Amino acid sequence: MSNTDFSSQNGAGGPPYANGPSQNPVALQPPGPGYMAHQTPYNPMQAKGPMPPGPGLYNSGPYQPIPPVSSNQALPGQPMLKRPPMGPQHSMTPPQSASPNPGSRIPPAHATPPPVSANNYQHAPAWQYGGTPPMGAPPSMGAPPPMAMPPLRPVGNHMTSSPSLATPQASSAEYRATPPVFHNAMQPLGPPTSLQGYTQQGSAPLLMNPMAAPHSYQPVMRAPYGGPPPSVRPTPPTTGPPMGNASPPLGPKTDAGPLPPQQPGPPTRHMGLSYPSLPPGYQNTSAPPNAATMQHPVQPSTQPYSHPPPYQQLSAGPAQLSPSLSGLSLQSQTPEALRVVNLLQERNLLPLGPVTPPTPCLPQDLQKINCHPEVFRSTLTSIPQTQSLLNKAKLPLGLLLHPFKDLSQLPVVTSSTIVRCRSCRTYINPFVTFLDQRRWKCNLCYRVNDVPEEFMYNPVSRSYGEPHKRPEVQNATLEFIAPSEYMLRPPQPAVYLIVLDVSHNAVETGYLDVVCQSLLENINALPGDSRTKIGFITFDSTIHFYNLQEGLSQPQMLIVSDIEDIFLPTPDSLLVNLNECKELVQDLLRSLPQMFGKTMETQCALGPALQAAFKLLSATGGRVSVFQTQLPSLGVGALKSREDPNQRASAKDIQHLSPATDFYKKLALDCSGQQVAVDLFLLSSQYCDLASLGCISRYSAGSVYYYPSYHQQHNPAGVECFQKDLKRYLTRKIGFEAVMRIRCSKGLSIHTFHGNFFVRSTDLLSLPNVNPDAGFAVQMSIEENLVDMQSVSFQAALLYTSSKGERRIRVHTMCLPVVNSLSDIFAGADVQAITCLLASMAVDRSVTASLSDARDAMTNASIDSLTSFRTSVLTIQQPGLLAPACLRLFPLYILALLKQKAFRTGTSTRLDDRVFAMCQLKYQPLAYVMLMIHPALYRVDDLTDEGALNVSERTIPQPRVQQLSVEKLSRDGAFLMDAGSVIYLWIGRNCNPNFLTQVLGLPNYAAVPLNMNMLPELDTAESQRTRAFVGWLREQRPFFPILHVIRDESPLKASFLQNMIEDRTESALSYYEFLLHIQQQVSK
């Protein structure tokens, strides 16, 4: 029973309650009188409780086990309090405190007075849970129950004589927190009623019935969350009045609604009087107080039951719990994430929909405001306490960021002072702790800072004295308008420079038409204001500048043929104001494609052109877009072909992954210093040495686009793709002269960065431009043990100048629990993030060491982590390859990486293709990288509206994701493979003729053309569904995936089949063989 109850609690779900509740209900009914009696029943529960709590937690959510921990985390304050010893007492105290607390929630601010006992007590318990892992609550477990009981009785008394109760507790606890004052306040309110009221408030009106449920809830809630009132809130509603107790503590928020009669008074008081300082938002910081309050309320009304259990759990202490949990989990109550999966037997591992990231085991209120996983993600959602623990788990620890992602909703704060920690410069965030109204404690370095006077005023609610309700403390992602201290110079205007290759080879591909056309169409959509500047440079064996000065009748071309010592032919007018010279710019764009139509110049001086671009932009900074179609052959930076096509498939190891010259890197660093970013568009049919050219973008924070075999006539699909990408590129948001800094809690350190940027000082990323499609990754190590912490936080702050000349700071903060058992670490592993981080690390490895090294490292990563899981977490040794459910896709993803273009061997892969894939692995945000690694396969000939999504009045069918194996393809079907930058639609030989006619508009299979890239717009339900689905897939990414319709004879069939990762190829293992290989290594 107990276990179940707990689990339910953790889960917070209603159903689970049943177990607990059922018993409770009975008990509850008697509530007033029979607390004692109830208590006795409870005690058993409690006794069991200790064990169950852990498991229960797990049960509820995969991660739930963590919750207790998380609560701790939530309460940064805890460390300060150092409550650990308190633990046992806490359990006792809560009841007592309960009565007083309701009134006294205020105390948090007061903190000092011991007498407050009730409040204090509660706080203390909360702390214990959260912060006191070391406590080793177990002893408390036993004791607490009895303790709890007594308090309950007192509860009645509390109303009248709360002080008495308080005193004993006070003595025991170091509860300084509760001020005597509270009691007074409370009492006047009408102690008994008030208590109930509180509880009710929290739980709300409906809860009455739930009596039973409440019990369970409260315990659960509290236990897991420890400090955070918010979590509690949810529970209260379910529970009846008793429950209410629990809920009331939650705080102001809960109070507001539910309490029918008496409660209103008390809650309001809380709100106004005591709590002001501790608003929900702050709870994190002030968790202790909240917890105390929470408990208090509960106690009064009730339901000792509920309280005791939570306490017990709590008392167990995080540390103890986790081990016990881990043990338990294996036995019966394994959380979903730790469910053991035998990979050799379970074939069907893919989830029905997309793979969702694990949820950190934080209290609900914290988790609710935590940073969105698409923006900020950690490979381990539970951070290990020590480096040795991390080493044991053999999983990489790192963060993946998408800091400048387009967001539909972003709070923007304008304030003359931005509140930051005085020692570590962390921006104030939802996970700081408010010690009282005027002081807050940094959640990264734990320094106590003053709250500035302006921060006391809340512009949203227009109220004073509620710093915790400010948007800065309510949002994990927000943007500040920076005051002038954040500017070294006036914000720069948006400056765009287009650098075009116009040699014979370039003109031959016909790309100039597309670029000029695209610019003409989007010239008004370029981000910028009235200051926006634009300029053009073209180059072949010489460099051509264009004077676009206002007043000229037509653009003037200036040719510089001295490419050894490049200079600017005229000091101004090469970069002109776009608004004032739009006519001339349009003139130039219209005539440019024809100007070089008959050129016979085959040489190309890219290096000097880049130097000229740098000179032109160095005064202001800005963006250079370089379009290049062949290997640079003249001047500085000239390159020679390094690829031997005959060696592509046979070479033992891949050579030439590192740059041939450091010219491009050096120039990129110069650019970075002058706030110039270079974006490279490579349109080529031959080898262009992307490994060398790519450096220009990599170190200047630009982006790289690569269109192999681009040709206007021969490759219409490539042209369309280029057009769409260009449109997005020209119109997407852009930030100039940006820097980004990632901070993390004391004890953690960031040591390696992945992405396109230059690391200026140890942790400052210099980003001359930042765009919404750029992702970053960092690796971390644990330098100091995180023993006293329940949670750690990470903060990424991006300072940039918007295209409108505003200096802004975008801040993302993420909070994660700290755990001390291997099983918890495994339960929190995020397999997608791990895969992406490993991919980035492998790219570095293949450049610095060799490709085969990188491949071995990836294979070993999966072997090591599964070995560690088998030896350290599993207690029962079973045959087979065992993996926790959360890592069940890990070997599959690793195999997919090994077969990815970037890392595959034995298959003919062009060097540029390979290098480009590597760039993308490092630079793309996680969601797109995952599709590149492991494409999604859908069967689309039988799409139905069942389970379809509705997005803005369109119905989008949601077919199931299939395994990437030829055995899943059937000849009578049609399959869609989404590989990120390309989509394949494979038509089976015996495909349903209905699909052919209704969707493709073709009479039969033989009529399917060999290169078909469009779905005809037919007025049939099937066609609409298919197009809606493909359109929806395309909308979800910033680039444009080409659609290839293929059949057996299509030349692209080979690349389609190469994505069938689970199948064997002549040079690579099948998934099953790979698993056998891993198993062999694991069981060694």
> Where do contacts with other proteins occur on this chain (CB under 8 A)?
414, 416, 481-484, 487-491, 493, 529-531, 577, 580, 615, 618-620, 805-807
Token duo for residue 1009: 């053309």
Output the smallest distance, CB 734 to other proteins, in A: 16
Asked if residues 642 and 689 have their Cβ atoms less than 8 Å apart, the reply is yes
Output the smallest distance, CB 412 to other proteins, in A: 11
Output the smallest distance, CB 494 to other proteins, in A: 11
Say how far apart CA 594 and CA 614 lie, in whole Å. 27
Give whichever of 447 and 615 is closer to other proteins, judged by the CB atom: 615
Helix (H, G, I), strand (E, B) or coil at 671: helix
Give whichever of 81 and 617 is closer to other proteins, judged by the CB atom: 617
- 803 Cβ contact partners less than 8 Å away, ≥ 6 residues apart: 494, 527, 528, 529, 532, 733, 734, 735, 736
Give whichever of 331 and 417 is closer to other proteins, judged by the CB atom: 417
Output the smallest distance, CB 530 to other proteins, in A: 5
Token duo for residue 38: 């109830």
Give the 3-state secondary structure percentages of the chain, helix then strand then coil, rounded to 5: 45, 15, 35
Give whichever of 399 and 566 is closer to other proteins, judged by the CB atom: 566
Output the smallest distance, CB 804 to other proteins, in A: 9
Output the smallest distance, CB 481 to other proteins, in A: 5
Give whichever of 77 and 493 is closer to other proteins, judged by the CB atom: 493
Give whichever of 808 and 934 is closer to other proteins, judged by the CB atom: 808
**H-helix or E-strand spanning residue 1046:** strand 1042-1046
Give whichever of 376 and 480 is closer to other proteins, judged by the CB atom: 480
Output the smallest distance, CB 529 to other proteins, in A: 5
Give whichever of 12 and 811 is closer to other proteins, judged by the CB atom: 811
Asked if residues 839 and 432 have their Cβ atoms less than 8 Å apart, the reply is no
Query: Is 640 exposed, middle or buried, given 0-12, 13-18 or 19+ CB atoms closer than 10 A?
Result: exposed
Give whichever of 575 and 592 is closer to other proteins, judged by the CB atom: 575
Asked if residues 88 and 144 have their Cβ atoms less than 8 Å apart, the reply is yes
Output the smallest distance, CB 567 to other proteins, in A: 11
Output the smallest distance, CB 692 to other proteins, in A: 28
Give whichever of 531 and 711 is closer to other proteins, judged by the CB atom: 531
DSSP state of 380: B
Crossing angle of the two packed helices 144-172 and 118-131, in degrees rounded to 10: 120
Say how far apart CA 725 and CA 1040 lie, in whole Å. 6
Give whichever of 490 and 1003 is closer to other proteins, judged by the CB atom: 490
Q: In terms of DSSP H, where are the helices of 850-978?
A: 851-868, 890-898, 911-923, 926-933
Output the smallest distance, CB 771 to other proteins, in A: 22
Residue type, 336: E
Asked if residues 775 and 926 have their Cβ atoms less than 8 Å apart, the reply is yes
Output the smallest distance, CB 702 to other proteins, in A: 22
Give whichever of 580 and 643 is closer to other proteins, judged by the CB atom: 580
Give whichever of 415 and 542 is closer to other proteins, judged by the CB atom: 415
| Residue 990, phi-psi category: left (phi > 0), alpha (psi -120 to 50), beta (remainder) | alpha
Helix (H, G, I), strand (E, B) or coil at 1032: helix
Output the smallest distance, CB 887 to other proteins, in A: 48
Token duo for residue 306: 């509920």
Asked if residues 893 and 835 have their Cβ atoms less than 8 Å apart, the reply is yes
Say how far apart CA 250 and CA 228 lie, in whole Å. 7
Give whichever of 531 and 1034 is closer to other proteins, judged by the CB atom: 531
> Residue holding tokens 């494409």?
935
Output the smallest distance, CB 233 to other proteins, in A: 36
Tell me which long-range contacts 551-559 makes (C-beta under 8 A, separation of at least 24). 552/584, 554/584, 554/587, 555/584, 555/587, 555/588, 555/591
Residue type, 540: D
Q: How many separate helices (H) and strands (E) can be counted in the chain?
A: 43, 34
Token duo for residue 375: 């923006």
Give whichever of 382 and 803 is closer to other proteins, judged by the CB atom: 803
Give whichever of 381 and 766 is closer to other proteins, judged by the CB atom: 766
Give whichever of 424 and 487 is closer to other proteins, judged by the CB atom: 487
Output the smallest distance, CB 488 to other proteins, in A: 7
Query: Is 712 exposed, middle or buried, given 0-12, 13-18 or 19+ CB atoms closer than 10 A?
Result: middle
**Per-residue CA distances from 1005 to 655, 656, 1001, 1019 (Å):** 43, 44, 11, 20
Distance of CA 744 to the CA centre of its chain: 15
Q: What are phi and psi of 677, to 5 degrees?
A: -115, 145
The beta strands (E) that lie in 139-291 are given as: none
Say how far apart CA 776 and CA 685 lie, in whole Å. 30
Output the smallest distance, CB 618 to other proteins, in A: 7
Output the smallest distance, CB 571 to other proteins, in A: 8
Say how far apart CA 1002 and CA 1007 lie, in whole Å. 6
Asked if residues 123 and 101 have their Cβ atoms less than 8 Å apart, the reply is no
Say how far apart CA 667 and CA 547 lie, in whole Å. 25
Asked if residues 630 and 684 have their Cβ atoms less than 8 Å apart, the reply is yes
Output the smallest distance, CB 486 to other proteins, in A: 9
Give whichever of 486 and 1005 is closer to other proteins, judged by the CB atom: 486
Gyration radius (Cα) of the chain, Å: 32
The pairing of strands 412-414 and 376-378 is unpaired
Output the smallest distance, CB 620 to other proteins, in A: 8
Say how far apart CA 838 and CA 831 lie, in whole Å. 10
